[in-house]
Structure 1
């Protein structure tokens, strides 16, 4: 098995398409370090009173239309509005700018193979060699070259990940997914989007896609990132037929924050899809417990204090007009997922009484969820990447105080003690799982990694499936691949190599988008999830048995204990 760093680098050759020559000049430029593809021709679609001029990859026989604006330039701290009717010639041959990224800071003490492993995931999987800009609400469409307005192909709508802090659509090779769909005889159209971590204009930084606090509630600007995604889905309903897609056959698909977003769209409006999608795919993300918008008040107060806007009578207006460099400096000081607090992040989706009317767990229990078929999966070692900074924790008391301070502030001492009984300090019980005493950054790091992975990833997936698979079709998977990656094992985001590289998961997803069933001839049979006998498709490193069906019953009691604490998270 190759180590993760060169494997991810190699995978990016497959994941990222070369930027084509701009149509007017014929000049070429490399994108994401991939050799420029020479076999490129223009492709044109008419939208309203405009010609959208994209590119055709003659080698893969895929048309791509990149960087199409789907929203009007946003007025600061207002919800997005659908782009007005298009006019003139719009060159869509290059990805639109990415939303400015939260600065990721690998701790200074991390070096050697640990730093390499972390950087391989963070810097390479979410690498964006495209400009960053405030004006970033764009989408990309890839279709088989033969598709025309009346082709009516199924559509997959992809929401990228990055823990609501980093990432962009340019990192994901939709053309590769489309090309493979044609090879399988299951052609689809692929749409990917950029969405706000923050508000557009000069304030497009992390908090303002998911700003919290009383001020945000009063201004009606909660969950703007989710509002962006929903608007882009409406764009698909309005325009996708022009590209050969069927707006009644849309599947939403996401990874990490994108997968969490997918689950929240299933819960939005009390489970009313508004006809925007008919299926869902979630890689490493689900209905994670989110608090009330007012629970984020301390983060908002800290932000305005650091910028001096606490001295203003209207702090939101003050933030609006701060110089970009001052705002970015303030944002980069707020916690990121490589910080000591791990997954306890300040700027996340929250219950606002409108888009999310109640906690995800409560809505699931009440059945207020879109009744659509879905796929939900995890990697085995979800928490390893987010726990490396806990190396100085030594004792049970240290762990309990850490959980109380960052992760479970509302839990009682008794609840924390009960939780820790399910997650012993023995290295062999921790994450990366099944690696014995190896991969221990610190005495309690593997233990914290197990808890965080289960709280934020494995638990929500299992909860979703357990409650919904009794009434709707569902499938589960677990990826155990890249287990020998130093320190972090089968870490968060490693399954992207399977869904966007040359992997089996891509084929299953393509078939699901077409048929609302992932199984197909020549593939390992993937049984539907049955809460009475829960089984999942397992992707593993074994070259003789790379895919198998296994019982989805690992850490059952621990995950039930985690579920009981879901309402006590930060």
Structure 2
């Protein structure tokens, strides 16, 4: 039977529209159908491992079954179970209201379901990208604090669209991984079952998935840059330290912001967390408590996690030294050179410690600060150690953070001192230690920056403010895209960003007026060195 030419043209037109609106990629024997938004093709909620439910709860991630049939990838997949007491930016403190308004407008809380079945990722590609185009890949590890957050908190279109404008096209992959009790169960039982640091193991599995499948989306599996902020950056650092520093070809570079592998508690140090969890459930008294936890109804396990006081949750569900995924303390691995030798960019904001200090405004005296340092920040240090810290971090507001603001913003007599100490202890000292033990080794290319941009009253250029540039998008976005594409954050425009080296620690500074300068990374050297040495000896 002859089909009228008009009918053929109508069918072809319909197929063309459908193809344009619903991009698709073949994975194994399956068809993954995404959605085109502006100039970006989005493939959302793709499983990269088997659902960690039922008997796979509290087990290492299992390779995803071969894809079959048609998979609708037009909507975000499930978020991993979240802690409702925390959101990305919500403190109810008046000092950060302006920051929060801007942050939440840029990163709105997604209307996405939570479920244990959450090991999925999102792939953003320039519209029409096909297999064989071999575009560089950026893998985003979401923040925050291993307690909440996920891939759907960010709009990957921002990065991809900017890369199109820059004519340096990249693909962005955003990964969900297990959080809280589901991803960071400590204790001897977890160690025996080899299930410590499951969230980090999930990330490793996602990187393996990228190696296996990203070429189908038009990506180059040999050019993969890990990118993260806070816990996402910490995660990238631990991926670099895993496996004796052997990347297994899973990544070729890293861009790390405001988060670095800190000295860790061991899995046994947090045995009390495991025991308290078991005792808060019907598993109390069980002969095999871990297997019992696997079989618990989800609601009971989730509630038991929330039974811990809010102020303790940060320290309960964290990365631990397990002598397995993390073989030794991070500083030991770095000193031994057991770190992936890949190019990386590492950065901080100027006033990293102000948000942490806002939670300590009840401390108004020097004695109170001393008690905080000895009991919480550096538990076990002596009064002599405290006196050395005080000599290098005086109570004079002009010397404190937010830096460069004179006597202004002294919310309490100790606020600016505490801000300076916390920022240097948890961020700047860790960044500089990481650099000192990697830069220039075996030809490793390294760059460092400090953001003084978006300096707010009372909190200054606080933690996460550099994301306003990255997801603006702004000049740092351009540097990231260039770095992912060429292995060098210099894109031929603007000021030249020299590499950081031990002998010439040059650092790019982003000023509050968004201009760039290059300065020596030597600020507060004596204090930063002291805090790092004490932190290694007395981990929090």
Could you say whether these structures have the same fold, taking a TM-score greater than 0.5 normalized by the shorter chain as the test?
yes
Distance in 2 between residues matched to 1:387 and 1:379, nearest whole Å: 15
1:82 corresponds to: 63
- Match of residue 565 from structure 1: 534
Residue matched to 1:481? 453
Q: Alignment RMSD, CA only?
A: 2.2
**Counterparts of 1:331-480 in structure 2 under 5 Å?**
331-334=305-308, 339=311, 345-471=315-441, 472-480=444-452
- Which residue in the other structure is 1:134 paired with? 116
Q: How many residue pairs end up in the alignment?
A: 512
Of the candidates 232, 239, 244, which is equivalent to residue 265 of structure 1? 239
Match of 1:524 in 2: 495
Could you tell which deviates more after superposition, 365-374 or 396-405? 396-405
Q: 1:438 deviation in Å? A: 2.9
Distance, in Å, in 1 between the alignment partners of 2:377 and 2:276 is: 19
Superposition pairs of residues 144-543 of structure 1, within 5 angstroms: 144-197=126-179, 206-307=180-281, 309-334=283-308, 339=311, 345-471=315-441, 472-483=444-455, 485-542=456-513
The answer to whether the 8 A contact 1:126-1:162 is kept is no
Cα distance change on mapping 1:410 and 1:269 into 2, 3 Å = farther
Distance 2:525 2:161 in 1: 40
Counterpart selection for 1:66 from 44, 49, 74: 44
Question: Whole-Å Cα distance in 1 between the matches of residues 314 and 120 of structure 2?
Answer: 29
Output the CA distance in 1 between the equivalents of 2:463 and 2:102: 8
* In 2: Cα distance, 1:333 partner to 1:540 partner: 44
Evaluate the alpha carbon distance shift between residue 115 and residue 171 of structure 1 in structure 2; reply closer, same or farther with a 3 A threshold: same
Larger Cα-atom Rg: 2
Q: Is the 8 A contact 1:335 1:346 kept in 2?
A: no
Distance apart, 1:52 and its partner CA: 0.3
Report the CA distance between 1:420 and its aligned residue: 2.9
TM-score, normalising length from structure 2? 0.90
Task: State TM-score, norm by structure 1.
Answer: 0.85
Q: Which residue of 2 aligns with 1:21?
A: none
Measured in 2, the distance between the counterparts of 1:215 and 1:140 equals 33
Residues 1:93 and 2:74 aligned together:
yes
Change (3 A) 1:152 1:115: closer
Matched with 2:10 is none
Contact 2:162 2:473 in 1 (8 A): no
Return 5+ residue gaps in structure 1 as ranges: 1-38, 198-205
CA distance in structure 2 between the aligned counterparts of 1:134 and 1:308, rounded to whole angstroms: 20
8 Å CA contact retained: 2:137, 2:219: yes
**Contact 1:390–1:442 under 8 Å retained in 2:** no
Which residue of 549, 553, 560 maps to 2:518? 549
**Secondary structure of 2:269's aligned partner:** helix
CA distance in 1, matches of 2:81, 2:417: 33
Residues 113, 486 of structure 1: 8 Å contact kept: no
- SS at 1:46 equivalent: strand
Alignment check: 8 A CA contact 2:479 2:489 kept: yes
**Structure 2 unpaired stretches of 5+:** 1-18
Judged with a 3 Å threshold, the aligned counterparts in structure 2 of structure 1 residues 537 and 240 are, in CA distance, closer, same or farther, namely same
